[in-house]
């Protein structure tokens, strides 16, 4: 099955690219391992333009994007995409036993959460170690938890957990402040009384049997290095999902992000574009609105590419059959 463009990913950048591509009358396929990306897990989003003072839930926003994409004619396949072959302006992608051929390819595969890298962290994953407040926060209503991290995502997670009924949050921060957070989110957290700030500190070990019962701190807090709690939410940043890009041989920056032309979202491989958190296009400002904008730009570039190289993929396919 052949397409004008194949989009790999399931978040805001992917669906924005899909909607724009379909509106350019490109035959568009979107392959997603998981629907919604980070947006799905964001909780209430207050800085999405047009959402109003009450914001919009991330799940609702992604559902609207998906409905619009389907209504515009985008085909969606759920599964893990593997690159089979790549030639100039002609990519073959396999999902299960089915192969799809695209004149252009747009990578919108996002990021994956960093871990603390501690012993037993994998064992406790889902049993007291979490990276998604939206998914797992309701499990800890009436409980005490820690949020590890010093950025905006950590502060937003803490606010979200308290809204869900967590009785106390320990903010464990390597620095001596939370100044990297968005001021409005930090002001909201500072106004709450159910928060302890464990600055200049870090987690060195987990305690517990089958579930987390506490953590060991590098430095003492209130006279002890042992801190009893029911869960730890890790918010220390993310790493780009780069497996497919590595198969393609695209260029990366020193942070492992895909290098793209910020005006076109083009990678250094003909016919391959990238958008969203996996790229270095937004100078580190990774937001839903910037990911969506990059998806739109990538789709526009893919449209121009198909017009300039309309016959190249067909020629590759014919040559393979000979």
Q: Does residue 135 have an active-site annotation?
A: yes
Spatial strand order in the sheet of 203-208: 203-208, 212-221, 224-228
| Residue pair 162/137 in contact by the 8 Å Cβ criterion | no
Residue whose entry in the numeric block shows the structure tokens 């407040």: 133
Question: What CA–CA distance (Å, rounded) separates 18 from 276?
Answer: 13
Q: Does residue 261 have an active-site annotation?
A: no
For residue 191, count other CB atoms closer than 10 A to its CB. Answer: 9
Integer Rg of the chain from CA? 22
Alpha helices by DSSP H, listed for 176-267, are 183-190, 243-248
* Per-residue buried b or exposed e for 130-168, using 16+ beta carbons within 10 Å of the residue's own CB: bbbbbebbeebeeebbbbbbbbbbbbbbbbbbbebebeb
Catalytic residue among 71, 119, 122, 135: 135
Catalytic residue among 90, 132, 152, 305: 132
Strands 98-107 and 272-274: parallel
Query: Mind giving me the DSSP string for 45-84?
Result: ES-STTS-TT-EEHHHHHHHHHHHHHHHT-EEEES-EEEE
Question: What CA–CA distance (Å, rounded) separates 298 from 104?
Answer: 10
Side-chain half-sphere CA neighbours of 210 within 13 A? 0
Catalytic residue among 4, 90, 136, 313: 136
Q: Does residue 97 have an active-site annotation?
A: no
| Integer CA distances (angstroms), 237 to 155, 199, 255, 259, in order | 12, 18, 12, 19
Question: Catalytic positions, please?
Answer: 132, 135-136
């Amino acid at each position: 099955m052949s397409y004008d463009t194949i989009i790999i990913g399931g978040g805001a950048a992917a669906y924005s690219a899909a909607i724009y591509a379909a509106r350019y009358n490109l035959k568009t396929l979107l392959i997603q391992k998981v629907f919604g990306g980070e947006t799905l897990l964001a909780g209430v989003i207050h800085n999405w333009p047009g959402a109003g003072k009450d914001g919009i839930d991330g799940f609702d926003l992604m559902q609207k994007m998906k409905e619009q994409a389907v209504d515009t004619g985008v085909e969606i396949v759920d599964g893990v995409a593997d690159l089979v072959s790549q030639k100039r302006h002609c990519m073959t992608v396999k999902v299960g036993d089915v192969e799809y051929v695209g004149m252009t390819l747009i990578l919108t595969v996002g990021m994956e959460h960093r871990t603390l890298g501690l012993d037993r962290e994998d064992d406790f994953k889902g049993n007291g170690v979490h990276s998604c407040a939206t998914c797992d926060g309701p499990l800890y209503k009436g409980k005490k938890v820690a949020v590890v991290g010093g950025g905006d995502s950590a502060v937003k997670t803490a606010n979200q957990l308290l809204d869900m009924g967590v009785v106390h949050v320990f903010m464990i921060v390597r620095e001596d402040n939370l100044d990297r957070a968005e001021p409005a989110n930090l002001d909201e957290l500072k106004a709450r009384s159910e928060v302890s700030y464990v600055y200049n500190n870090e987690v060195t070990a987990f305690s517990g049997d089958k579930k987390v019962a506490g953590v060991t701190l590098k430095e003492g807090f209130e006279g002890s290095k042992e801190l009893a709690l029911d869960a730890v939410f890790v918010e220390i940043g993310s790493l780009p999902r780069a497996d497919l890009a590595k198969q393609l041989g695209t260029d990366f920056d020193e942070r492992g992000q895909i290098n793209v032309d910020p005006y076109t979202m083009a990678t250094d491989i003909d016919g391959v574009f990238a958008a969203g958190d996996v790229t270095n296009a937004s100078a580190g400002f990774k937001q839903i609105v910037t990911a969506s904008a990059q998806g739109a730009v990538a789709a526009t570039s893919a449209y121009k590419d198909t017009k300039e190289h309309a016959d190249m993929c067909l020629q590759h396919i014919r040559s393979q059959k000979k």
